[in-house]
Amino acid sequence: MHMPRSTDRLDRYRAKRDFTVTAEPSGTEAPQPAGNRFVVQRHRASHLHYDLRLEGGGVLISWAVPKGPTLDPAVKRMAVHVEDHPLGYFDFEGAIPKGEYGGGDVIVWDWGTWTAAHGEDPVQAVEDGELHFDVEGEKLAGRFALVRRGAGEQWLLLHKHDEFAIPGWDPEDHPRSVKSGRTNDEVREAPTASWSHRTSWPAVTADELQALDDIRVSDAWQIGEHTLKNSPT
Ligand code: MN
HEC-encoded secondary structure of the chain: CCCCCHHHHCHHHHHCCCCCCCCCCCCCCCCCCCCCEEEEEEEECCCEEEEEEEEECCEEEEEEECCCCCCCCCCEEEEEEEEEECHHHCCCCEEECCCCCCCEEEEEEEEEEEEECCCCCHHHHHHHCEEEEEEEECCCEEEEEEEECCCCCEEEEEECCCCCCCCCCCHHHCCCCCCCCCCHHHHHHCCCCCCECCECCCCCCHHHHHHHHHHHHHHHHHHHHHHHHCCCC
pLDDT for res 116: 96
CA of 34 to the centre of ligand 1 (A): 24
CA distance 183 to 93: 11
CA of 228 to the centre of ligand 1 (A): 60
pLDDT for res 9: 85
CA distance 231 to 219: 18
Q: Mean pLDDT of residues grouped by 10 in the chain (233 residues)?
A: 63 91 83 84 96 95 97 97 95 92 95 95 94 98 96 95 98 97 94 52 55 55 46 43
CA of 53 to the centre of ligand 1 (A): 10
Residue 63's closest CA among 76, 49, 73?
Answer: 49
Which protein residues have a CB closer than 5 Å to ligand 1 (ion)? 43, 51
CA of 103 to the centre of ligand 1 (A): 9
pLDDT for res 127: 94
CA of 84 to the centre of ligand 1 (A): 11
CA of 66 to the centre of ligand 1 (A): 9
CA of 110 to the centre of ligand 1 (A): 14
CA of 211 to the centre of ligand 1 (A): 35
CA of 166 to the centre of ligand 1 (A): 26
